Amino acid sequence: MQENYEENKAVGDAAAERLLATNGTLYEVGSTIEVLYAASGVSVDHAFGHYGIPIAYTFEMRGNGDYGRFGFVLPPQFIIPNGEEIVEALIGLVHKAREFNYVPVSN
């Protein structure tokens, strides 16, 4: 587990809260192995290990939930709402990351 796990989790939680407020879709936040499955060599591993980037996330887009079980083939009617949620989540992520000085504030 990375040394700044709690900060990463707080930033992820802020993104998930903003996402939930958009369309009511609940996203789980945690490490890849906690939330998805055991995986190595994924992009977040590369970001942390090779480039020393302090925060990195994997978003799994809608696929399974109260609206159906579609896997990686999302029906067209969910594409725009999913995009809206992710944009809002990214806004929440950046705002919270600024609190930890991970994203500089420009004028």
Distance CA 105, CA 61 (A): 28
pLDDT tens per residue, range 48-67: 888 988 998 888 887 777 77
pTM of the model: 0.84
Amino acid at 89: A
| Percent of the chain with pLDDT strictly greater than 90 | 39
Each residue of 5-24: pLDDT tens digit?
999 999 999 999 999 999 99
CA distance 24 to 92: 15
- The mean pLDDT of 62-73, rounded to a whole number, is 78
Is residue 19 within 8 Å of residue 88, measured between CB atoms? yes
Which residues are designated catalytic?
Answer: 60
- From 82, 57, 87, 84, select the one nearest 72 (Cα to Cα): 82
Closest CA to 16 of 7, 29, 5: 29
